Chains A and B, each alone.
Chain A
Amino acid sequence: MAVDLGAIEAQLNNSFPGAVVERDGDWLVVDADQLTAVATHLRDEMGFDFLTHLSASDYPDRIEVVYNLYSTQPDLRGPGLPLKVRIPDRDNPHLPSLVHIWPGANFQEREVWDMFGVRFGGHPNLKRILLWEGFEGHPLRKDWYEPYYEQDNKPYSSRWPNPESPKPRSAEERVRWRANLQYPMGFDPDPEQWQPLPEIDVDIGDKIDVNGLDTDRILLNIGPQHPSTHGVFRMVVGLQGETVTSVYPVVGHLHRNHEKIGERNLWTGNIPYTDRLDYISPMHNGFGYVVTVEKMMGQEVAERAEYLRVIMGELTRVVNHILAIGFLFNELGAMMTPMLYAFTEREHVLDLFEEASGARMMVNYFRFGGVSRDVSDEWLKRCRQVVGRLDRKIDEFEFLLTENEIFIARARGVSPMTWQQLASYGVTGPMLRSAGLPYDIRKVEPYSIYESFDFDIPTYDTGDLYDRYRQRIAEARESVKILYQAVDRIPANGSIQAGKKSWNPKVPAGEAYGRVEHPKGELGFYLVSDGGTNPYRYHVRSPCFVNLGALEVMSVGHLLADAIVILGSIDTTMGEVDR
């Protein structure tokens, strides 16, 4: 059901006079002073109880913070309510924090503070999240320049037709702006003088009292170089005995400011970069980006290309889920066997990707209005065989794992969550559905041609580890169902590109938030165009990053060995968390 912005605006202005300042396209601009009251009212009275996306955008005269609210209520699911708040004071921007209304806003507000320098009053722990404490400046502001900064927008004029230095030597020598380095206040670049910055001050936590045990509280660092943390992720765990009393996730080790790079790139040039976000399921990242840009451009998509997109997307989903299960078992101690079985199946799918797109992981397959290459009939035939094999192999996985008594003993009843809890943390994807809320963007806000397929949204009740496992198996089965239909119904010999393919497409000025159901949750792209060749603002709402925000509430009170498995069950990829 579409959201009636006019009615909501009237209702809000009725309850809080002057709360909605104006309408900006599809966005309601809310008065900063009344933000907390409006948000509480929206959550409690009007059903918009699901804050999934929060980010900001820097303009010459203001900073805008945007909120995308959705609803978990059956009749309000679907297109959400986009809000934004304008902060005219760029020198000292501040806003009330929404963490007490939606705990899930925690990480995203920290990110906005980190990248834009907006202070959120009332935030429990407003520290930098992707960068380190002591970093100089807020990098996503337009007046912040990175080292080796060359020019605001690609293409760089030094590349053609006559480069300034005819034969550039190496990255360090190539650019004369190499002295563009900013050091933190009081930092001396002389290595002799260097002093390490003070450690992060972490609360060990006294939320849990383990009675009857005379143990010391200790603080344990897990990671960043630890095989069970899925990449470079650091977990500072407070322990009493073996019981976890607090978890403080430290992310950002893989941070490369994907969003700043994205703002320098051409619109087309961002497609290959999205493959590097969640490298386990690269095909779906490009899907999210092109769907959002097509929404802004009003671009049609060729029908055969739509089918190819769905085929690639669902193959990715199956692979992602069985791989997630493989890793989950690795962390449970079933060393390697389920994981390598999962990798075997992944190889078959990657072979298909390589044949279609030219690369196994960095596929760069999606284009605005279509896909990059057509596939042959032979490919489709082989795809069908691979889908058949996946179908059989999911059965084998279930036969191998589902009834395993050790697994059941380790997983059942560990970290049970209600969907209300998870939704307040902004958690999306299989984890939310395993707790009983059938919220799947392919159904609630269909994109591409998902409406024409016959599939269900499986759900489980308790949201514990065992349900998260079963949820992924069930979703992989549904994806196989979609794949059978797509491979059978794909139109033969159609065009794979609607309109003319351009290396420099025109994107009209405006802003949009587009989201797709990524295997790990809601993958959103918040894009602002000023009508130029590059995005003015490019933000990735990463499902793994937001889902990690719920790690503490899921782990506290459980054993340390379970905390590792709980992290595995969130199914994170650090390439996407750190961006």
Chain B
Amino acid sequence: MESKKTNIDLKQYGMVIALIAIFIIFYILSGGKNATPMNINNLVMQNGYIVVLAVGMLLCVLTGNVDLGVGSTVALTGAVAAILVIDKGMSVPVAFLAALLVGLAVGIFEGTFIAALGIPPFIVTLATMLMGRGLTYVALQAQTKGPLPDAYTAIGAGYLPTITIQIGAFAFDLICLIIAIAATLLIVLSELNSIATKKKYGFAVNPMWQTIAKLVIIIAIVWFFLYRLAVYKGIPIVLVLMAALIGVYHFITSKTVAGRQVYALGGNEKAARLSGINTKKVFFWVYTNMGLLCGVAGIVLSARNASATPKAGDGFEMDAIASCYIGGAATAGGIGTIIGAVVGAFVMGILNNGMSLIGWSTDIQKVVKGMVLLGAVTFDLLSKRRK
């Protein structure tokens, strides 16, 4: 019995273990380059927008569909913001608001066709993908728009203010330390809380050593990351944005009626409809939300690049979709978690980053990413079948 439980648990955290394994492999291959403070910082900055998109994409995947238009929408929203700031001389906050509104409008456009008219999401979003890309080229007249002012780029390339403390030869950021402690407390408390609830209702609780091992690993990862960031330039603003979005969407999917309705719809649309769930409304908000998050990602991406380019965001939809599936979401819908999608996004990110560091070409990188996606989903499905 004991051994069975261990197996199930290993599968549950399989992707996290794979994530660590991939990191260690590249640590060895690159001679430790991927663990340098600067690279850890890059890892966060490079993957910020993929995580933002994966979070929104997970909701689409939960309904049993995908959104193919996100890459184009990211480019379009970034282009709008850049044009407003550079050509029209508007203030940065106004430009950001405009970018978000454009994202929202794209989402509403998709949502209307999908929910109100019942057009398959694949078709609608394929159309948005083409139209969005075309509009971006028109808006930018096929040119790169830049450079963007510092007030703009801060959100993609800036840091929280730092309070440097000097202990001996070490200099590090106090804010990082505070966040690390706060995160540790939060993780431990929420785990204790969940164990207490499980015990109260007589559900099976994992063995103590497993819980402790899990917590130690998670906390070690958090501290490792934050320490590396602390000795570099401090906490990137992107990380704060990411953490906030992950928190909010994790809460929505796991604790709210709205989240539950998405799972029910994905699991069995007819049953959901006959249970009083307005499935059209669910489709509408899921796709509208995706559009809004594309706006966020568009701002972050253009800020990091300090410019908007017509080719920006090319292929992002595939990265976001792959993240969800690597993170354990089911193609048929109804299964998947935000945390899984985020882990999936980081698996892709660490792969990309590691392969660049050891000098593999982007062609080979694509092959490897494809293999990882196929491998992860194959493993997931085969292990389920054996049960």
Q: Do A and B bind each other?
A: no
B residues in contact (CB < 8 Å) with A: none
